[in-house]
């Protein structure tokens, strides 16, 4: 007797569940509102997928005041038109990894063609034999090896449209992007790279139409390269371009007389360079940070409305991280890169504020959609009840007529 009763209760529950599913399919045939409910019930989805991938503090407290216009980054990038993404690649910031993502890991109507054994890929616009990306892995070093902001902004427009008459050149939007890295880690990584024989001697450093003289930009070594140099030797060279490299490569060098250090006092020069680098970085369409790979991916996707195929990976083990230095050396490197340290603090604050702002916008939009779905659901439920009531009234009146 008890078994029959439990079977009946179980059967009733199953029938109730099936009825609810049928009703849900009727009032909400699309998958969107169902997915919203499934996500709300899923404990895994409740966790922020971007929090665990880096060392972001649980409660980020902003230090700088930025306007909504500074934080909201969504550009109307027209890949089928004439718009161009220009990647400013600063040495040892993880730019090579990010550059490969741009040519190999983006979902595109017409993906870049990358052939084995070739560094450059062909990234044409859909239906056109014209590139949408200006970077090392698409156009090569067309404006010079690791060209900086001063070089790129003066060089890219003329290089892209060099074969066209002036009157036939399109009005393009140039969207500049870059990647930054913690200054101490970047400096150590550059030292290790130079120690292995890298020189970047082919860099042009063009500013105001010319490259610097050897007096303006002396070399730190006399041979073909500086391979085998110690960290102490690397730090002791006063002309080392590794010092404050990120500020120098992101600023407008023409504001300080390029590489001529006699144009203005050092303190004034440093302030102008830092202010210029901050302003240029803030106005760029996008910048990412090596220490925040998934957030970098997220902000790029939201900015350009382009999605990557595979998620970015956070590599915490690098050649720089394997270098053990004492506190005194750490302080010396920070002192040599004091402008980069200040720029990175500014960039990190802006980056995390942008991330928070975009996530809040995303959550607000998701909440708005859920509210709309609830309204639609309630309206359809009310319509069903009304139909049911009308049907009952009609049946009753029909029976009354027959009874007469």
Any idea which residues carry the catalytic annotation? 146
Distance CA 95, CA 360 (A): 28
Surface-to-core class of residue 305, CB atoms within 10 Å of its CB (0-12 exposed, 13-18 middle, 19+ buried)? exposed
Distance CA 153, CA 175 (A): 11
Assign 3-state DSSP to the chain and report helix, strand, coil percentages, each to 5: 50, 5, 45
380 contact partners, CB below 8 Å, separation of at least 6: 26, 27, 28
> Phi and psi at residue 177, in whole multiples of 5°?
-135, 155
Helix (H) or strand (E) holding 175: strand 174-180
DSSP state of 125: P
Distance CA 59, CA 266 (A): 38
CA 348 to chain centre: 13
Distance CA 123, CA 112 (A): 4
Give me the count of residues in the chain: 404
Distance CA 395, CA 140 (A): 79
Distance CA 373, CA 378 (A): 9
Residue with tokens 């054994």: 117
Torsion sign, CA atoms 122, 127, 130, 131: negative
> Phi and psi at residue 394, in whole multiples of 5°?
-65, -45
Distance CA 53, CA 312 (A): 10
Bin 90: left if φ > 0, else alpha if -120 < ψ < 50, else beta.
beta
Distance CA 289, CA 53 (A): 13
Distance CA 296, CA 304 (A): 12
């Amino acid at each position: 007797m008890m078994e029959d009763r439990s079977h009946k209760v179980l059967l009733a529950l199953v029938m109730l569940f099936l009825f609810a599913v049928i009703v849900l399919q009727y009032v909400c045939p699309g998958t969107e509102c169902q997915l919203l409910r499934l996500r709300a019930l899923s404990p895994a989805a409740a966790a922020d997928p971007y929090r665990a991938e880096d060392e972001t503090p649980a409660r980020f407290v902003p230090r700088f005041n930025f306007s909504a216009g500074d934080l909201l980054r969504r550009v109307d990038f027209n890949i089928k038109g004439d718009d161009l993404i220009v990647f400013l690649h600063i040495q040892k910031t993880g730019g090579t990894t990010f550059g490969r993502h741009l040519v190999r890991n983006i979902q595109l109507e017409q993906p870049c063609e990358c052939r084995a054994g070739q560094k450059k890929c062909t990234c044409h616009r859909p239906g056109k034999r014209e590139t949408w990306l200006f970077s090392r892995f698409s156009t090569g070093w067309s404006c010079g090896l690791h060209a900086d902001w001063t070089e790129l902004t003066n060089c890219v427009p003329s290089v892209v449209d060099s074969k066209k008459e002036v009157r036939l050149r399109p009005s393009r939007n140039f969207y500049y992007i870059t990647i930054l890295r913690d200054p101490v880690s970047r400096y150590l990584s550059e030292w290790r790279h130079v120690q292995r024989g890298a020189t970047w001697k082919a860099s042009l450093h063009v500013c105001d139409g010319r490259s610097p003289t050897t007096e303006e930009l002396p070399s730190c070594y006399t041979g073909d390269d500086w391979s085998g140099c110690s960290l102490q030797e690397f730090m002791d060279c006063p002309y080392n371009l590794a010092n404050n490299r990120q500020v120098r490569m992101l600023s407008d060098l023409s504001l300080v007389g390029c590489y001529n250090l006699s144009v203005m006092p050092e303190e004034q020069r440093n302030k102008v360079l830092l202010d210029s680098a901050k302003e240029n970085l803030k106005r760029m369409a996008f910048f990412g940070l090596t220490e925040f790979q998934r957030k970098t991916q997220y902000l790029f996707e939201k900015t350009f409305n382009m999605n990557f195929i595979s998620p970015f990976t956070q590599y915490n083990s690098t050649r720089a991280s394997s270098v053990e230095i004492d506190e005194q050396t750490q302080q010396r490197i920070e002192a040599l890169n004091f402008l980069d340290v200040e720029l990175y603090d500014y960039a990190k604050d802006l980056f995390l504020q942008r991330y928070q702002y975009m996530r809040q916008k995303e959550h607000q939009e998701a909440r708005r959609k859920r509210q709309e779905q609830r309204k639609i659901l309630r309206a359809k439920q009310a319509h069903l009840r009304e139909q049911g009531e009308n049907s009952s009234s009609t049946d009753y009146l029909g029976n009354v007529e027959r009874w007469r």
